[in-house]
Amino acid sequence: MAQADVLVLGAGMVGVSTALHLRRRGLSVVLMDRRGPGEETSFGNAGVIEGSALFPVSFPRDVGVLVRHALKLAPQSNYRLGALPGLVPWLLAYFQASGDAGLAASARDLRPLMARARAEHRIFADAAGADGLLNPTGWVKIYRSEADYASAEPERLLARELNVACEELDPQGVLKLEPHLRPDFVRGSFWPECDNCSDPGGLVKAYADLFVREGGILLKGDARSLKRTGGRWRVDSDAGPVSGERAVLCLGPWSMDLFGRFGLKLPFAVKRGYHVHLAPEPGVTLSRAVVDRAGGFCLQWTKYGVRATTGIEFAGRDDPPDRRQADLVVPLARRLLPLGAVRESEPWLGRRPAFPDSKPVVGAAPRQPGLFLNFGHSHWGFTLGPVTGLLLAQMMTGEAPFTDPAPYAAGRFG
């Protein structure tokens, strides 16, 4: 049986980054996934490393907005009725965490991670020869009404308090940054401390290739075969069984498949989301991600075309896809930018692993010696993978953590 110091399960951005940090600290590391690196949730995100991110995506409080969501008229959300009863406890906790006080508390706890995220990505990207995939052009949020702009004021106030750069723009200011946008908005804001990635899945693969070049082992297999045998952790791979002194769960939305077996009781859910790619009209370009708050979508320039990502769908993780949100977003995207045909016959479906407070769990698993957790990054797995991987690697190797890990401990849920 092959052996390693650490088994890292899950080869998305979080798992690959964790494995690479551990390998760089001299440990033998096996990284395993049933698919290739970056082919699940990490493939389909908005492609933004959000160094300036503050408030998490929240549950709406406005009654009129809630009614639109309930009637499935808002592109920001969708739901599958049959899944809601099982999600009620999580949704109530999410609603509670979505007040201004809860959002500010989560933003403050996440700030040490966000502030270091871009630098950790740059270290990996430079070593992997993938720095060309990162474009340090920031991102823009647009607002279609004064009321929409005013509703975002608490986030801008917190940005000023925490010295997070944010520039308030009129329509002409937005058009100086993105001249091909149609001026169908009243205000904008520019957040410069962000990098844009034209190929998120490709960036994960580049980091995985770096991991292998530096002596890590990448295998395919089913992480759900994990079990503890003789004081070690064992998992089955296509190359045979592998054991490790320690194991790290970086399985994102599939982490819940192991919860019951290892006694984990965590308030965990999956926020599903979609994307489509549209062909830009001749001569049209986009230099950075553009978020349409009222439309509930983000546009990003990628190697596949202009990617339009949707908001949240509350459904069972493995429920059939529902193209409702994508169909709502496409005409809104064309209203904002000259775009042609959709390039896929069906929208891509992804799954965001989330806790109600929008913070990941990073650290040792309760009552399971040698088992560690790094998942639940909500909308920020692509951004935070390298920095939470660093934090966990420091904790596992006895280094002084660069920030207090207590806000991300599994024990915060009691």
> Under DSSP, is residue 192 helix (H, G, I), strand (E, B) or coil?
coil
Q: List, for residues 289-306, the tens digit of each pLDDT value.
A: 999 988 889 999 999 999
Mean pLDDT of 342-355: 95
Q: What is the CATH number assigned to the segment(s) 2-42+202-267+357-413?
A: 3.50.50.60
193 falls in which pLDDT band (50, 70, 90)?
Answer: very high
Q: Which helix (H) or strand (E) holds 364?
A: strand 361-364
Q: Cα–Cα distance between 329 and 347 in angstroms, integer?
A: 11
397 falls in which pLDDT band (50, 70, 90)?
Answer: very high
Is residue 67 scored above 80 in pLDDT?
A: no
263 falls in which pLDDT band (50, 70, 90)?
Answer: confident
63 falls in which pLDDT band (50, 70, 90)?
Answer: low
Please name the residue that has the structure tokens 């690196």.
Answer: 37
Mean pLDDT of 76-90: 91
Query: Mean of the per-residue pLDDT values for the chain?
Result: 94
Mean pLDDT of 153-157: 93
Mean pLDDT of 239-251: 96
Is residue 116 scored above 70 in pLDDT?
A: yes
CB 82 within 8 A of CB 320: no
Confidence at residue 82, expressed as pLDDT on a 0 to 100 scale: 92
CB 357 within 8 A of CB 102: yes
| Burial of 156: CB neighbours in 10 Å, binned 0-12, 13-18, 19+ | middle
**Integer CA distances (angstroms), 222 to 31, 113, 170, 240, 288, in order:** 11, 30, 51, 11, 37
Please name the residue that has the structure tokens 């007040």.
Answer: 99
